[in-house]
Amino acid sequence: MKKMLYTLLLAASLLPLGAAAQSITRLNPTNWWVGMKHNTVQVLVYGPQAGTLTYTVNYPGVKLVKTNTVENPNYAFLDLVIAPTAKPGQVALVGKKGTKTATQNWELKARDNAVKAQGVTQADFIYLAMPDRFANGDPSNDKFADMADPSSDRAQPFLRHGGDLQGAAQHLDYLKELGVTAVWFTPVIENNQGLTDEGGAKRSAYHGYGFTDHYTVDKRLGGNAAYKAFVQKAHGMGLKVVQDAVYNHIGNNHWFIQDLPMKSWLHQWPTYTNTSYRQQPITDPHAAQIDKRVTLDGWFVPFLPDLNQQNPYVANFLIQHALWTVENFGVDAWRIDTYMYNDQPFMNRCNAALLQEYPKIHIFGESSVTSIVDQAYYVRNKIDFPFKSNQPGGLDFVLENAMLAGLKEVGTPGATGWDNGAQRVYQALAQDAVYQDPTKLVTFIDNHDHNRFLSEVGEDVAKYKMGLTWLLTTRGIPSIYYGTEILMKNFKDPSDAEVRRDFPGGFPGDQQNKFTAAGRTEAENDAFRFVSTLANYRRTHPVLSSGQLMQYLPENGQYVYFRYADAGTVMVASNTTDKAASLPTARFSERMTGFTKARNVLTGETISDLKTLQLPAKTALVLELMK
């Protein structure tokens, strides 16, 4: 299968086109705006023999600087410069060959004043959800006979289930109650992919990571109009929206894969070559070039062709799509899939374009690494690497690994030493000096690719609460995976579908509705209240969103850190042992001098004597210190 698909793609680039009539069937980007800083736009023109035409543009303020032709005569790339004096309107792109003329209008729009590109910061709490598995607001768009995958069946874990943007919009009040301030969906762009055969099971592309048309939101999610409406509704409720972007690859059913512009559009190999998924060759000063090339240019999986971002046409296509998306839909932040597998000079160029146009936007990529050095490489850092990344933030996989490993050690019978769990978290944070700004890292404790958090900690609610306390009170921008707040559980084994189950109550016919307190069990409501209390406290108390972090070496199984600012001081004291403990506080005088009492953020209880704190077993206290 791998060899067959790869051979087809390799051969597809230059099939004979015969004497087809010239016409223009597609323009990307589909439009642009007047007044953009990015005012040089390369328009991809596609259609039978479109690359054999001679193009002209006659529109005030728009100049055709160059027509670029490539190996495939069905493509032309027009370099347009849009002057500050240009007005909104329809720009006629006219292509001629002999007596034949092909004309297609390309719209210049006026920029609106809608809120967009607000960015996310430590003041935010991000909620990650898979649209197909969260809520179904419009069953009429669950499946379409004209799509490569016409199926929708909730009884089948690997098929589409019908969740959509309208359904998600109907539950924004639930997210507000939880204390969420930003919504991040796995990709919403069209995935018109057929079913793949993985491990003997037919799987759909419900996850969204195999784009087939960059300028179209999947109509099974509601299409472009539904996404714009969702963003507008979220903004109206004070919520931000994070776009999930994919540059490294596309789906094998993408329209331009069916008729490649040129062989170098993709990373091509004599025979199919998969990435090694190994991070080390990129930062290893002793690495062999072939190992680097396999990591970067090998395909992620056989059905996701790997884009060659060193090709300038590919790079322009992706950068312009990123800018178009922010301007068109009004999203606020930009999460980048498989960041480490992209060409890093290209990533710097794309990041710079987004930040120039939208200075407040936050960009954070997924680099699934295990070491601080490797993680720092992909963000702005203080290490003397030959290559310097300009990415403002990233997903903090190192801290996630530290929290999960530490929590598994929490409560080990008889363990009272420095090694009892939290030291792993301490060590990860102690190396923050490598980052230019560690507060821009997005922290998390599970996601759509990992085991669910509750299952990782053995369904131990005490560990669950301790981990979420760390997540919501330490440095960085916290993110939670949908359903974690209501104790959804499961492991990826036997399949990732087990950690992507439908949110109960989001679909017609659900017998339980976990979006409401009445539909949740006592344990689920306790978990929801716990997350909501901490999240809403974080939202309303700047000390957790802008305060500095000071941590103390764990001793006797106790881990203490402070968030502090002019606005106040919050102390987090964790007892990672299986026994209740007394914690003398004299050691923490650097941060506690002048404070005489504290309020327990989770219970509301006032503690009037701070000389010694009583810590229950496997518990983290969050204390607002008071004078």
Active-site residue list: 337, 366
How far is 66 from 72, CA to CA, in rounded Å?
18
389 within 8 A of 380, measured Cβ to Cβ: yes
| Cα(127)–Cα(77) distance, integer angstroms | 39
498-500-505 Cα angle (round to 5) = 110
Q: SS3 of 355, please?
A: helix
142 three-class SS: coil
CA nearest to 585, candidates 564, 549, 614, 626: 614
Environment class of 593 (CB within 10 Å of its CB; exposed 0-12, middle 13-18, buried 19+): exposed
Please provide the DSSP assignment of 289-305 as one string.
HHHHHHHHHSBSSTTSP
Q: Are strands 213-217 and 189-190 parallel, antiparallel or unpaired?
A: antiparallel
- Distance (Å, rounded) from C-alpha 16 to C-alpha 233? 49
Whether the Cβ atoms of residue 594 and residue 588 lie closer than 8 Å to each other: no
Dihedral pair phi/psi, residue 365, rounded to 5°? -105, 165
Cβ proximity of 620 and 581 under 8 Å: no
Q: With CA atoms as reference, report the closest residue to 420 among 478, 466, 357, 383.
A: 466
User: How far is the C-alpha of 585 from the C-alpha of 358, rounded, in Å?
Assistant: 46
Taking phi first (over 0 means left), then psi (-120 to 50 degrees means alpha), and beta for anything else, what does residue 270 get? alpha
State the burial class of residue 167 (Cβ atoms within 10 Å of its Cβ: 0-12, 13-18, 19+): buried
In our burial notation (b when 16+ CB lie closer than 10 A, e otherwise), range 441-463 reads: bbbbbbbbebbbbbbbbeebebb
Burial of 373 (0-12, 13-18, 19+ CB in 10 A): middle
**Judging by beta carbons within 10 Å of its beta carbon (0-12, 13-18, 19+), is residue 626 exposed, middle or buried?**
middle
Q: In this structure, how many other beta carbons lie within 10 angstroms of the beta carbon of residue 548?
A: 11
DSSP letter, residue 172: H
Whether the Cβ atoms of residue 406 and residue 425 lie closer than 8 Å to each other = yes
Cα gap 472→479, rounded to integer Å? 9
Q: Which residues does 151 contact at the CB level (< 8 Å), separation at least 6?
A: 143, 159, 160, 195, 204
Residues 6+ apart with CB under 8 A from 605: 599
Whether the CB-CB separation of 186 and 130 falls below 8 Å is answered with: yes
Q: Which residues contact 277 (CB under 8 A, 6 or more apart)?
A: 295
Residue 625, H or E segment: strand 619-626
- Give the span between the Cα atoms of 445 and 396, in whole angstroms: 9
DSSP code of residue 442: E
